[in-house]
Copies of this chain bind each other. A is one copy, B any other.
Amino acid sequence: MEFQLKAELKCSGSVSEGVSSSEIEEFMKHCNIELLKKGAPPGCGAEIVRWNVRGEKIGLEIVSDRFVRAHDALLRLKNEFGKFLGRHRIGIRSMEIEDYEIAMDWEEGLAIKKLPFVREIKQEEGRLKLFLAVNEFLLEKRIPDRIIRLLEDKREAASWKGKKEHWELLFESKKKPFYFDKDPTEEMIRLGWIRHAAGRGQWIYGPQLTKIFRAFEHIILDNLLEPLGYEEMIFPKFVPWDVWKRSGHAKGIYPEAYYVCTPKTRDPEFWEEVMDYYKVTNEVPLDMIMERIEPVGGMCYAQCPPFWIFLLGKTIPDEILPITVFDRSGTSHRYESGGLHGIERLDEFHRVEIVWIGKKEQVIEHAKQLQEGYRRIFDEFLEIEWREAWVTPWFMAQEGKAGLAELKEVGTIDYEAVLPYSGKWLEFQNVSVNGDKYPKGFSVKLQSGEELWSGCSGVGLERWAAVLLAQKSLDPDKWSAKLRSAVGELPEVFRFL
C-alpha cells in the first residue's frame, strides 16, 4: 500500500524571511529520520520527499507505506513544525490538503466504483488507486483509515458471496406424527381467524390465534422464565439512530428497516398546505410530506438494543448478576425480501425477547438452561419435530457479515422445524450468546472490572404458531393435553355473510 500526499501550510508570518533555509532543511531531515519512522519496522514509515517555502506558505509532499500512513505523518509533522516555527515567533494558520493518493494491490474481479470522500478511482492491472478529497478535519477524524477498513470489509464480503451462511447441526428431536398437510395461513384465512391488514406483510389476528399466542407466552413464563427468575420490562419500540450506532445495526440494516420520521415542526401552519391538499383531493401529498419530515431512526427491528439504554454508562455490582429480563410489549418490523409468506415470513411480527446479563461463564451456563427449557416445552407442550443448528450470530448477520464470531462460545443457535405442507424448514426462534458486544457498545461495566457478557433469545409468536399449526393442524383435539389446557376454549366472535 502506498500513500502520496501533497499539502500546503499557511503561516502567520513569512517563513522565507524569518527562518534560514538550512535550519528548515535540518528540521525536515531530522523528521525523516526520527518523527516519521517512529513505530514502524526498520526501513519503513513515511518520508517528506519535497518541500518548498514561499513567503508565508510551505509546500509539502509526503510518501509512505502502510506503517506510518502519510496523513498520520502529516499530522505529526504539523505538530512538530508548529513547535519549531514557534521558536521563530511564527504560527501555523491553516493547512490545505491539495492531493492525496492511495494505491494498493486489488483483485481485478472486485469493482470499486464509488467511495465516500474519494473524488476519483482508477482500477487497472490488479491495482487500485484512490484520489481522496479530504481536509484537515477529515484527516483528524481518521477518514483515510476508515476508507481502507471499508475496502477490507468489501473484500471480505466479496469472499462470502455465493457461500451460504454458516450452518452446523447440533441436535435433532425425535420424529413426531404430523396431522396436517396444508398451509396453516390459508386455512386460518378460510376460517376467519386472521385477515391480511392494510400494510405489506401485515395481519390482523382474530380472537382464536390471539388466544394461542397468549398461551405460548404463558407457557414460556410459567415453565421457563419464572423458574429462572426472569422479570418483565418494557423496552422502547421506536429506535433512534443512536441505539443502532451502538448496537452495530447502523452498519447494515438499511435495506430492511422500517424508517421513522418526525415532523420538522409541529406548527399547524407548516402543515396547513398538506391538510388542504388532502381535503381537496382525498390523496395524501407524499412529496409535500417528505419536505416536512426528517428521519430519526426506525421501528423496532431486533427488540433488545433499545433496552440497553437503561444500562448506558452504568457500573453494576457483581452480586446482582445474572440479570434476567424479558419484553413482550410490542411489534417488530422488517422490510422483508420478496419471500413474504402468510404468518411465516412477514413485515410486522410479535416476539417475546429474553435478555440475560452476567459474567462469561454465567451467560454461557444460562444459555444452556434456556436450551433445556425450550426442549422440554417443544417436547411436552408443542409436541413438534425440530432441530437446532449453530449459525452465523444474528448480530453479525444484521451488520451484513457472514461466518462465525472469533470466540467459539459466542454465537447463535437457530431452532428450525419442518412445515409438512411444503417440506421446508422454518427458523422459529434462537438462543444467542452475544459476548461482550452490548456491554461494550453501551459502556456498561462490572464493579469487579471483570468482563460483562450478555445473551438474548427471541421467541417469534407467529413462527411458533406456524410450526405448531403446520405439524399439528388447527384442531385442538390433535394438540397435546398440556397445550390444550393452556389455550383453553377457542373463542368464536365473528361471523360474516
Number of A positions contacting B (CB below 8 A): 112
Given contacts A232-B210, A236-B197, A289-B295, contact A281 B204 (CB under 8 A): no
Given contacts A251-B275, A254-B271, A286-B295, contact A447 B204 (CB under 8 A): no
* B202 & A238 in contact (Cβ 8 Å cutoff): yes
Which chain B residue has the least Cβ–Cβ distance from A497? B315
Chain A 310-342 against B: per-residue CB contact (8 Å), 1 yes, 0 no?
110011110010011100011101010100000
Docked Cα-Cα span, A159 to B323, in Å, equals 58
Minimum CB–CB distance for A432 against chain B, Å: 21
CB-CB under 8 A from A290, the residues of chain B are 290, 294-295
* B279 & A153 in contact (Cβ 8 Å cutoff): yes
Chain A 202-236 against B: per-residue CB contact (8 Å), 1 yes, 0 no?
11111101110110000000000000000111111
CB-CB under 8 A from A207, the residues of chain B are 231-233, 325
Within A241-293, the residues touching B (CB, 8 Å) are 241-245, 250-252, 254-263, 265-268, 270-271, 273-282, 284, 286, 289-290, 292-293
Docked Cα-Cα span, A116 to B250, in Å, equals 39
Chain A 91-119 against B: per-residue CB contact (8 Å), 1 yes, 0 no?
00000000000000000000000111100
Stretch at the interface among A27-35, A143-151, A386-394: A143-151
Minimum CB–CB distance for A311 against chain B, Å: 8
Minimum CB–CB distance for A420 against chain B, Å: 26
Which chain B residue has the least Cβ–Cβ distance from A289? B295
Minimum CB–CB distance for A397 against chain B, Å: 13
Docked Cα-Cα span, A238 to B260, in Å, equals 11
The answer to the question of A66 belonging to the interface, with a C-beta cut-off of 8 Å to chain B, is no
* A231 & B266 in contact (Cβ 8 Å cutoff): no
CB-CB under 8 A from A267, the residues of chain B are 255
Docked Cα-Cα span, A147 to B495, in Å, equals 42
Minimum CB–CB distance for A284 against chain B, Å: 5
The answer to the question of A307 belonging to the interface, with a C-beta cut-off of 8 Å to chain B, is yes
Minimum CB–CB distance for A83 against chain B, Å: 31
Given contacts A205-B234, A284-B241, contact A274 B259 (CB under 8 A): no
CB-CB under 8 A from A232, the residues of chain B are 207, 210-211, 214
Minimum CB–CB distance for A132 against chain B, Å: 11
* A238 & B333 in contact (Cβ 8 Å cutoff): yes
* A494 & B323 in contact (Cβ 8 Å cutoff): yes
Minimum CB–CB distance for A298 against chain B, Å: 9
Jot down 6 A-B pairs with beta carbons below 8 A, ordered by A. Answer: A199-B296, A209-B234, A252-B275, A261-B261, A290-B294, A316-B496
In the complex, besides A199-B240, A209-B234, A244-B284, 11 extra interface pairs with C-beta distance below 8 angstroms are: A114-B273, A115-B280, A116-B281, A202-B238, A231-B493, A258-B260, A316-B496, A317-B495, A323-B493, A323-B494, A330-B330
Tell me the A residues contacting B by CB distance below 8 Å: 114-117, 141, 143, 146-147, 149-150, 153, 195, 197-200, 202-207, 209-211, 213-214, 231-245, 250-252, 254-263, 265-268, 270-271, 273-282, 284, 286, 289-290, 292-297, 299, 306-307, 309-311, 314-317, 320, 323-325, 329-331, 333, 335, 337, 347-348, 350, 400, 447, 491, 493-497
